[in-house]
Amino acid sequence: MHRITRAIRTQTERTNEMEHSTPMFLTSSFCFDDAEDMRAAFADESDDNIYSRFSNPNVKEFTDKMVALEGAEAGYATASGMSAVFGSFMALLKKGDHLLCCSSIFGSTHTVIKKYLPNFGIGYTYVPADKPEEWEAAIKPDTKMIYLETPTNPGLDIIDLEFAGALAKKHNVLLSVDNCFATPLAQRPVDFGADIVVHSATKWLDGQGRVLGGVVVGKKELINDIYLFCRSTGPALSPFNAWVLSKSLETLDVRMERHSKNALFIATKLEGHEKLSSIRYPFLKSHPQHEIAVKQMQSGGGIVCFELKGGLEAGRNFLNSLKILSLTANLGDTRSIASHPASTTHAKLTEEERQAVNITPGLIRISVGLEHQEDILDDILQALEA
Ligand SMILES: *Cc1c(COP(=O)(O)O)cnc(C)c1O
């Protein structure tokens, strides 16, 4: 079966009611027929559910679909994207290990790496997203993992996954990719040698701004380590959120097709606008890594970024003049969203750190929704003129 079909048809076993749509298994624990069944489950001799911190049918359905979509061996779903990121660091890194990390990463991931990993004796080096030729020199004997996002947030740099996969293999280090921005429909890091792939399911995977969730997929033994860490420490995905997310994956393909189409339309129409000093979208020919983008991505995704000539003040004016687009701390929704990273998601970075990852004062990030493309464009155009 094609993976899109598996994302729709993978289903928890029907109950005696013969329901068509999977019901919610809102239960914290599961029963056993007898002492022997219970013993076998606790001894890991059966796949029976024990307790929803360990496993739950809704969580399993969502996870199995993500494993199919990413072409991975195994997966584990978590309460949020950050618990997937943190859980994978804590399960796979230990005292004395070194993490090589691409500098353009999600704000909270940056906080985890910079503020908390050193408390556990885990060191790190940041390398620039747009200068992969500098990465190899930063690998040390104790480097255990390379961590990256592509496209990056919010600068939309594209990192060559084939290059990253080959570098990780050459130095025998793990490659972990946050695939949140592209989704498995646009790009599959496992095909390029990623050992694990992490996601915030809160974004495009849900796609409707309703629930938090996360998931990590990848090589079986690595996922098992992450599972064992998480089942003991507790960032389990709630069955309700898993039920929502599993349903969401059934429409991910058609949603991403339209998000990408709308985003390309907006980017193409805004390119060269007199109020903008630059615009970025992976599938615009003017994107500095356009060739890599079309090599490894099936579509450009739903995020468009541009830089306003007027800097910080123009950025605030633009946000204040929007009539349709939402000002909210999320992305990957049916509703288009505008954000100003310098004053919000990346405000905790120092000015220098922001400059290093190209977050300029006038940078605006648009998460292009599913509204009619002309309504989205008109709102942006009138706000640029205001
Ligand atoms: C939002 C986001 C995260 C964190 O996910 P949460 O679900 O908010 O915890 C991680 N990586 C990227 C790229 C994100 O956009």
pLDDT digits (tens, 9 = 90+) for 348-358: 778 887 887 77
Tell me how far the alpha carbon of residue 133 lies from the centroid of ligand 1, in angstroms: 27
The widest CA-to-CA distance across the chain, in whole angstroms, is 74
| Among 282, 248, 279, CA closest to 362 | 279
Atom of ligand 1 minimally distant from the CA of 108: 4
Nearest CA to ligand 1 atom 11: 106
Q: Ligand 1: does its nearest atom lie under 6 Å from the Cβ of 202?
A: yes
Alpha carbon distance 342, 363 (integer Å): 7
Domains within the chain, CATH numbers bracketed: 3-249 (3.40.640.10), 252-385 (3.90.1150.10)
| Radius of gyration, CA atoms only, the chain | 21
Tell me how far the alpha carbon of residue 234 lies from the centroid of ligand 1, in angstroms: 18
Alpha carbon distance 73, 103 (integer Å): 28
Q: Which residues contact 89 (CB under 8 A, 6 or more apart)?
A: 99, 112, 113, 117, 122, 145
SS3 state at 26 = coil
Q: Ligand 1: does its nearest atom lie under 6 Å from the Cβ of 81?
A: yes
Q: 35 near 100, Cβ under 8 Å?
A: no
Residue 287 confidence (pLDDT): 97
| Among 298, 316, 301, 294, CA closest to 364 | 316
- Ligand 1 pocket: which of 83, 88, 106, 148 to mutate (most atoms <8 Å of CB)? 106
Q: φ, ψ for residue 126 (rounded to 5)?
A: -90, 135
Give the H or E element holding residue 364: strand 363-367
Q: Ligand 1: does its nearest atom lie under 6 Å from the Cβ of 178?
A: yes
Tokens 């006038």 label which residue? 362
Q: Ligand 1: does its nearest atom lie under 6 Å from the Cβ of 235?
A: no
Q: Ligand 1: does its nearest atom lie under 6 Å from the Cβ of 212?
A: yes
Residue 354 confidence (pLDDT): 80
Nearest CA to ligand 1 atom 5: 81
Q: φ, ψ for residue 132 (rounded to 5)?
A: -60, -20
Nearest CA to ligand 1 atom 7: 81
Strands 363-367 and 337-339: antiparallel
Q: Ligand 1: does its nearest atom lie under 6 Å from the Cβ of 149?
A: yes
Q: Ligand 1: does its nearest atom lie under 6 Å from the Cβ of 80?
A: yes
Atom of ligand 1 minimally distant from the CA of 84: 9
Tokens 């618990």 label which residue? 83
- Ligand 1 pocket: which of 89, 180, 198 to mutate (most atoms <8 Å of CB)? 180
Q: Is the pTM of this model over 0.75?
A: yes
Sheet architecture: strand order including 337-339: 276-280, 303-308, 363-367, 337-339, 326-327
- Ligand 1 pocket: which of 62, 200, 244, 337 to mutate (most atoms <8 Å of CB)? 200
Q: φ, ψ for residue 245 (rounded to 5)?
A: -65, -35
Give Cα 119 distance to the centre of its chain: 25
Alpha carbon distance 49, 47 (integer Å): 6
Tell me how far the alpha carbon of residue 213 lies from the centroid of ligand 1, in angstroms: 9
Tell me how far the alpha carbon of residue 81 lies from the centroid of ligand 1, in angstroms: 5
Alpha carbon distance 85, 216 (integer Å): 8
For CA atoms 48, 54, 58, 59, the dihedral sign is negative
Residue 97 confidence (pLDDT): 98
How many CB atoms are located within 10 Å of the residue 323 CB? 10
pLDDT one digit per residue (tens) for the chain, 386 residues: 999 999 999 998 899 999 999 999 999 999 999 999 999 999 989 989 999 999 999 999 999 999 999 999 999 999 999 999 999 999 999 999 999 999 888 889 999 999 999 999 999 999 998 899 999 999 999 999 999 999 998 889 999 999 999 999 999 999 999 999 999 999 999 999 999 999 999 999 999 999 999 999 999 999 999 999 999 999 999 999 999 999 999 999 999 999 999 999 999 999 999 999 999 999 999 999 999 999 999 999 999 999 999 988 899 899 999 999 999 989 999 999 999 888 777 777 788 878 877 788 899 999 999 999 999 999 999 999 99
Alpha carbon distance 356, 341 (integer Å): 14
Nearest CA to ligand 1 atom 4: 81
Residue 348 confidence (pLDDT): 77
